[in-house]
A and B are shown apart, each in its own frame.
Chain A
Amino acid sequence: MKSSILYLLTVVLCLSSECQLHAQTFISVTGYVRDHDSREPLPYASVKIEDGQGAYANRLGFFAVDLPTGNHQITVSYAGYKVIQVEGIFAADTSLECFLVQGPSIDTVEIEAMGGAANSVLHRLHITQEFLTSLPALGSEADPLRALMVLPGISTGTEESADLVVRGGGRDQNLFLIDGAPLYMAGHALNFLSLFQGGLVQGIDLYTGYQPPQYGGRLSSVIDMTFREGNRTRLQGKMQLGLITSQGILEGPIGKQKRTSFLIGVRSTYLELFGIGRQAEVEDRSTLEDDSYLVYGFSDAHAKITHYTTKNIRLYLHAYGGRDRLKMLRSTPGDFESNRNFIGNVAISAGAAGQLGTKGWWEAGTFYVTQQQRDDALAQSFSWESIPPPPQFFARAPTIVYTLLSENSSMFRTRIKDFGAKVLFQGSLNHNWAIKGGGELIVRHYEPGDLQLESRVFPGDTVSRNVITGVAPNAQEQVLFLENNLVLSPSFQLDVGLRGEHWLAGKQNFLRLSPRVRLGWEKNHWTGQLSYTRAYQYQHALLRPTERQDLIVWIPATEGLLPQQSDQISVALGYQAGATPWSIHVEAYMKEMAHLTMLFSDPLAIDWFATWSEGLLREGEGRAFGVELWAFWKKERLSITGAYTLAWSERRFDDLNQGNWFPDWYDRRHQLTLTGIWRLSDTWTSYAIWNLASGRRTNLPQGIVPENPYSFGYTASGTLNQDRLPLYHRLDLGLAWNKPLENGNSWGMRVDLYNAYNRLNVSSVYVVNSLNDQGKEVLTLKGRALLPIIPSLTFSYQF
C-alpha cells in the first residue's frame, strides 16, 4: 500500500509541473438552480459554458463558475428538466437564479464528479428522487436503500436485510446521514424496509471509493441523504394506500413570501389491527391447546421546515422519529410466554447554509440522534383445572381456571445517544484553486445494555430481583478537515485533503490523520480517476458474522480496542457518449482493513452485552479487491442499466481458521443487476430488475467427529467459509399507472411482484440431527429460503 501511495504522489508531482496559468481576467458567475414549480433546489445541476467548461451545482443547487470576461453562453441542465441557456456579455461578477421546468426526460442515475469542470468521473453516485421511486420494490415501497443495491459494488448482508455490504466491508461500516444527522441503523426491524419514505428524499450521494475529507467515521461508504424542502409555491400532498403500509406526504408554503416551506411525511403498517382478536385468544388461554401469535409493525414520521432569508441563507429544521414493534406470544396449558420488542430511532438536525463572499459557500449544522431498543419478556407457569359446565340444553365448553405458580419477567434496554455540530467553508483562492474546510464535534453516550430480572413464586409471592448492566465509556470526537481542489490543466484536476481526528473515550485518546487524494482526468468523452482514501472508524458493532440482527449494540474504541482502519486505492475509467445516450464506467479497487472485531459470545447468554469483551475477537484484518462495471443505455421510452461486480473479500483473525486468511461471509464473486424502465405511454410505466449473484459463503458438514475424551462430538467442515450457498437470482416486476386529472391532481396505482418467478433463494443453512434405523446420528442439510413471490398493490392520490 505504501509503495502505491508513493507512486500516486509521483504522478501528481509530474502533472503539476505541466500546469500552466493563463494571464486572463476572470469574473465569477454564481447562482442557484431550482425547480420552477416548487422552488426546491436541483442538486448537482450542470452549468456549462460554450467550450464545455463549467461546474456542477452543489447539493443545495448553488454553483460558482469562473469565466474570462466576454460574451458567453451558459447552459443549465438537470435530468428530467428542460435545458435553459443564458447568453450575454459577462464583464463583472454576476449572480443568476435559474428555474428549470420539468421535461419529458427519463434520465436515471447521474454519474458525475463534484467540484470543477476538469473531471466527471465516477467517485460519487448521485441518485435522484425520480430514480429511487421508480424501481420495483418489496410491498410497492419506494425504498432508498434497496435502490442502492442495483449499483455495482453494493450487496445485501443477507437476503431479507436492508443492510449494505460495500466493497468487502462490514455491515456496520456505512455512514448513513439524513440531512447531516448520522443514523445507527437504516432499516426497520427485520430490515425489510428502510427507515425513510422514498417520496421524501430529494437525492442520495453515495461514496464507495474516494471519500471527501468532510466525511469520516466509517470505513466502507458514505450514504448522504438530503431530504426535500417542500413546495414553496403551493400546498400539495400525496396519500398512498397499500397492502402492507399506508403513508401520506403533505407539503407547502408557510406565509405569503414563498420563503418558507414545510414537508411532513407519515407512514405506518397495520398488520397489527388484523390480529387483535388472535392476540386476545392466545392471552386468554380459553382452550387447553397450544397457541402462538406473532405480529410486527412499524411507524415513522418526518417533519421538515426550510426558510430562505432575504439574503438567500437557507435555514432548516428536520425531525425524524420511528418506532418498530414486534410481539410474540405463546401459550400452552401450563405456560404463557410473551416477548415484546421495541426499537426507537430519533434524529433531529438543524442547520444553515449560504453564499460566502463572491463565490464561496458555507454550511453549519447541529444534530441529536438517539437509538434504543427495549425487550420485555414475561414467562408464567400455571396449574389449571377444567370445570365442567352445568347440564343444560346447549352444551358449553368447560371453564378453565388457572392458578399462577411462578412468574419470571425481564426488561432489557440498550441505547446510544449522539449530539454533534459541524461547520464547512468552501471558497476559491484563484480560478484554479478551491479549498474546502471545516470541523466537527460529536459527543457520544453509550448504554450497551441494562437488564432487570424479576422472579416471583406463588403462593407467598416470594420475589427475587437482579440487575445486569453493561458499561462502556462515553466518547468525544473532534475533527478538522481541509481539502484542496486544484485544476492542474484543462484535463486534470487534483483533490488533496486531510482529515485530523481526535477521539477520547474514558481515559483513552486516539489521534489519527486520514489523507485523501484524488486525481481526475477528462478528455472529450473520456474520464478517468485515481484515488486513495484512508478512513478510521472509532466505534465497533457487537455483531455476530451472519446473524440477522435488528439492532446493533455499539461500543467505543477504547483501551485494548483500537479504531478500525482502512486504506483504499481505486482507479476508474468512464466513457460518456455524446450524441447517443449511453455511458459505461469501469472501476477497480483494492482495500485493506485493520483492527476489525467480530463477536462470538454465547447467543443464549443473557448477559452478553455486559460480558462482550470475553467473546469479542479483536485485531482482525480484511482485504478486498474487485472490478465494477456500470453501463447505461437509453432509447426513447426505454432505459436499461447494468451493473456487474467481480470481487474478492477476505478476513483474518488470530483465533479463527488457524490464523489464516479466509473468505468473508459476504464474499460474492459475481454480482449482476439489470434494471429496465419502460414508459409504455404517458400514463403507464413498467419496471424490471433481475439480480444474479454468487451465493454467500458458508460451511457445509463433511463428516461427524465422534465424541472423545477430549472434546464433544462435532461436525467437520473443512476450512472456514470454503463453501457457498446456492446461486442467488431473483426477478422483480412492477407496473405503474398514473392518471393526471384536469385540476392538476392525479390518481395512481402500482402493482409489484417481488421475486416474480418465486425462486427459493437460500439465505441460511442448518443441519438436522436425527437417528437412523441403526440408532446412529445422521445429518440432513436444510436451507432456509425467505421472501418468496410477494405481490403488492398500492393506490395513491396526489393533489
Chain B
Amino acid sequence: MNRSNTCLLVVFLSLLLSCELETDVNLDLPPFEPAWSLVGFVGPGSPIELSIQAILPPQTGIQTDMPPPLAEGEIFVDGKRKLSFLPSNDSLIQLPPLVLTAGQRVHLHIQLANGDSIVSEEDIIPEKAWLSSASYSFEDSSENVIHLDWDLGDKPQTGYLAVKLVKIDSLGSALSLDETYRLASPFGPLSDVDNFPPSGRFSFHRFEPTNLSQSSPLSGAWILLYSLSETSYAFFQSLNLYDFTYGDIYQQQIPVYTNLSNKLGLFGAYQVDSLYVPFE
C-alpha cells in the first residue's frame, strides 16, 4: 500500500471512529394556546364530581392565569336540563346525585367567565353490571398476604367493565364514601365484556398503607365493579395506551381520549356495583 492510500485510510478511519451515531437536537415546541381540562363522571345515585383545571404551558409549566370563574354549569339528561350549578373557583366541583336509568343520554355544558365554553358530547348511561360474590379466601400468615376472590356469576353482563379494589384499614373510616366510589384508574381488569374475566383475584399485603393510613392493618376491602359507557372506557383505555408509550423515545405517545369540545378531558357515564369483604 503506498503512502497516499495509507493517508486516505487513516483519515477515513479517524472520521468513522469520531462519528457520533446519535445526536440530540433541540426542537421548538408548538405555540401554547390557553385551554381548560375537565374530567367528570355521572352515574345513577352516585355523587357527581367535576375536576376543572387550567392547562399548563409546556415551556414554563407556570399557570399564567387563575382559573376563570365558572359563570354557569348545566347537566342535561335526554336533552333536558336537570341540574344547574353556580359559579365556583374550586378546581373540584361536587354535585348531588341524579336519578338516572340505563339508556338515558347525558351531556354537560359549562360557560366560563372569560366567554369560553366546554361542551361534552352525549354519553349513554350503561346497563349495570353485577358482582355475584367476593370473598376473603386465604391469608398466607408467613407472608401476611391476603387473597381476595371475586366472581361475576352466571348473570349476563353487557358493555365495558372495570374492577377495582379499595382497601379499608382498621380505623374503619379510612376512606370517605365519595373517594371509595370514585371512578379512577388504576383498575384491575378493564375491557369489553367479551374479554373480561368471569372471576379474578387481588393479592396484597395486610399492612399495605391505604390512602389515609400508613400503618394500621387492613380490616376489609371493597370490590367495585364498574360498568362503563363506551366513552368512559375509551378514556381509561387511552390513558393506559398513553402510559405504555410514555417516556419511550422510540414510541409515539398516544393522545388521551376526549369527548369535550375543547379536546381535553371527559364527561362520561358509568354505573357501579360493590361488595364489602371484612377480614377476620
Contacts and interface: CB of A to CB of B under 8 A. Distances in A.
Contact of B249 (A751, A764, A774): A764
Interface in B1-45: 5, 8-9, 12-13, 15-16, 19-30, 32-33, 35, 37, 39-41
B26 A782 contact: yes
A779 interface: yes
Given A710-B183, A762-B25, A718 B251 contact: no
B203 interface: no
B58 A710 contact: no
B264 A772 contact: no
B254 A656 contact: yes
A603 interface: yes
Interface in B198-249: 234, 237-249
A703 B234 contact: no
Interface stretch (A141-149, A682-690, A783-791): A783-791
A391 B249 CA distance: 51
A705 B21 CA distance: 35
Contact of B26 (A602, A658, A723, A781): A781
B61 A772 contact: yes
B27 A765 contact: yes
A625 B239 CA distance: 32
A99 B40 CA distance: 79
Contacts of A709: 39, 49, 51, 92, 182, 184
Interface in A684-725: 697-706, 708-712, 714-721, 723
B51 A710 contact: yes
A327 B237 CA distance: 36
B55 A705 contact: yes
A561 B52 CA distance: 40
Contacts of A546: 250-252
Given A790-B19, A792-B12, A706 B53 contact: yes
B46 interface: no
Contacts of A776: 56, 60-62
A766 interface: yes
B253 interface: yes
Contacts of A780: 26
B141 interface: no
A740 interface: no
A778 B40 CA distance: 26
A793 B247 CA distance: 38
Contact of B61 (A547, A714, A777): A777
Interface residues of B, number: 71
Contact of A655 (B20, B30, B234): B234
B142 interface: no
Interface in A746-799: 749, 751, 760, 762, 764-767, 771-772, 774, 776-793
A714 B30 contact: no
B255 interface: yes
Contact of A603 (B8, B24, B61, B248): B248
Given A711-B185, A772-B62, A600 B239 contact: no
Contacts of B130: none
A766 B245 CA distance: 11
B257 interface: yes
Given A701-B29, A705-B53, A791-B12, A778 B252 contact: no
Interface in B177-200: 182-185, 191
A368 B61 CA distance: 57
Given A702-B32, A709-B182, A766 B249 contact: yes
A545 B27 CA distance: 22
Contacts of A710: 39-41, 51, 182-185
B157 to A, nearest CB: 19
B15 to A, nearest CB: 5
A615 interface: yes
A331 to B, nearest CB: 22
A782 B237 contact: no
A397 interface: no
B24 A784 contact: yes
A548 interface: yes
A657 interface: yes
Contact of A243 (B13, B30, B59, B242): B13
A545 B251 CA distance: 7
A661 to B, nearest CB: 14
Contacts of B58: 701-704, 715, 767, 778-779, 781
B47 interface: no
A492 interface: no
Contacts of B53: 705-706, 708
A333 interface: no
Contacts of A783: 24-27
Contacts of B19: 788-790
A235 B37 CA distance: 75
A771 B256 CA distance: 23
A762 B251 CA distance: 14
Contact of A718 (B23, B243, B255): B255
A655 B242 CA distance: 12
The 7 tightest CB contacts between A and B, nearest first, are A776-B61, A703-B55, A779-B58, A778-B61, A704-B56, A708-B51, A793-B12
Given A600-B244, A781-B58, 13 more contacts: A656-B254, A705-B264, A708-B51, A710-B182, A710-B185, A716-B37, A717-B255, A718-B263, A751-B12, A777-B56, A777-B61, A778-B61, A786-B21
23 contacts: A544-B251, A600-B245, A602-B243, A655-B241, A699-B255, A700-B29, A702-B32, A703-B32, A704-B55, A705-B256, A706-B56, A708-B39, A710-B184, A711-B39, A714-B256, A760-B23, A760-B25, A765-B27, A774-B61, A774-B62, A783-B24, A788-B21, A790-B19
